[in-house]
Amino acid sequence: MGDFWKPTAEMGEQIFQKPKLLEKHLIKPPFRFLHDIFTATMEATGFGDGLYDAVEMDSKSMTEKDAKINYLSKMITLTEMIIGEELDVKPNKIVAGHEPEKTNIFLQAMF
Q: What is the pLDDT of residues 10-21, one digit of tens each?
A: 999 999 999 999
Compute the average pLDDT of residues 69-73.
Answer: 98
Please compute the mean of the pLDDT values over residues 76-87 and round it to a whole number.
98
Helical ranges in 48-99 per DSSP H: 54-57, 65-83, 91-95
39 pLDDT above the threshold of 60: yes
> For the chain, what are the domain ranges?
6-110
CA distance 15 to 42: 10
Residue 28: pLDDT over 90: yes
pLDDT of residue 1: 57
| pLDDT category of residue 26 using cuts at 50, 70 and 90 | very high
Domain 6-110 is classified in which CATH homologous superfamily?
Answer: Microtubule-binding protein MIP-T3 (1.10.418.50)
User: Which residue stretches of the chain are H helix?
Assistant: 6-13, 23-26, 31-45, 54-57, 65-83, 91-95, 100-110
Helix (H, G, I), strand (E, B) or coil at 10: helix
Residues 62, 35: contact at Cβ < 8 Å?
A: yes
